[in-house]
Amino acid sequence: MNTNKKFSVIIPTMWFSDKIKENLHRLNNCDEVYEIILIDNNISLTPEYINDYEKIKYLPQKQNIYVNPAWNLGIEKAKCQNICISNDDVIFDTSVFSFIENYIDIGIYGMSTSNYYPPDPSLEYKVEKIEIRPWGWGCLFFIKKENWTPINKDLKIACGDDWLIKHTKGGAHQINNLNLNDDRVSVTSIRTEFSEIQKKDIEIWSQYLR
């Protein structure tokens, strides 16, 4: 199969979201998706339904490797140059694949904060360059595999998107008018058990910027 126009979709999960089954179903049925690289950071909760989706490339982890290392791993294993990285709890209109494929030769493209609230349905997708990462930007983003700069291994949960924005040639952009219709995202990373790791990540990133 020619993968030139196809996407590898990378999704780390711990199975805490009730949206992931619908997400996998929609992606598995999307013509633009070549493979779904599912990185399982919590194999004690793995549902049997993952066997129902032929596009899934299943990567179980013996222990939680956390989201930023999971992104790096997904990139390493991806067969397509076109990359989509998604939270497991983000359900989006898959028509964005054919739109963003025209842009991602250079740069990295994430979400506008406004995408998480009901937009004007008459508006078309558009991209806008950004200097400061908006809330929700890293919950769903697109990049060419060849433009990926591996995230520092010391960053586990937070600031991986900041790393990519700083290191990606062509700069960072946001996609406007993509209707996600839900601001209840990042249900895994906001759990209190991860707060100390995130605090450490932010400290590491702050030191990096000095």
What pLDDT shows up at residue 121? 74
User: In this structure, what are the phi and psi dihedrals at residue 46, rounded to the nearest 5 degrees?
Assistant: -60, 125
- Average per-residue pLDDT for the chain: 92
The residues near 197 (Cβ < 8 Å, ≥ 6 apart) are 66, 156, 157, 158
E strands, 71-148, in order: 82-86, 108-111, 126-130, 140-144
Instruction: Write the pLDDT tens digit of every residue in 8-39.
Output: 999 999 999 989 999 999 999 999 999 999 99
Give the Cβ contact number of residue 147 at 10 Å: 18
- pLDDT tier at 189, thresholds 50, 70, 90: low
Report whether pLDDT(194) > 80: no
- pLDDT tier at 4, thresholds 50, 70, 90: confident
Instruction: Write the pLDDT tens digit of every residue in 117-142.
Output: 877 777 899 999 999 999 999 999 99
Whole-number Cα distances in Å, 146 to 51, 110, 138, 150, 200: 30, 17, 19, 11, 29
What pLDDT shows up at residue 83? 98
CB contact at 8 A, 83 and 147: no
What pLDDT shows up at residue 175? 97
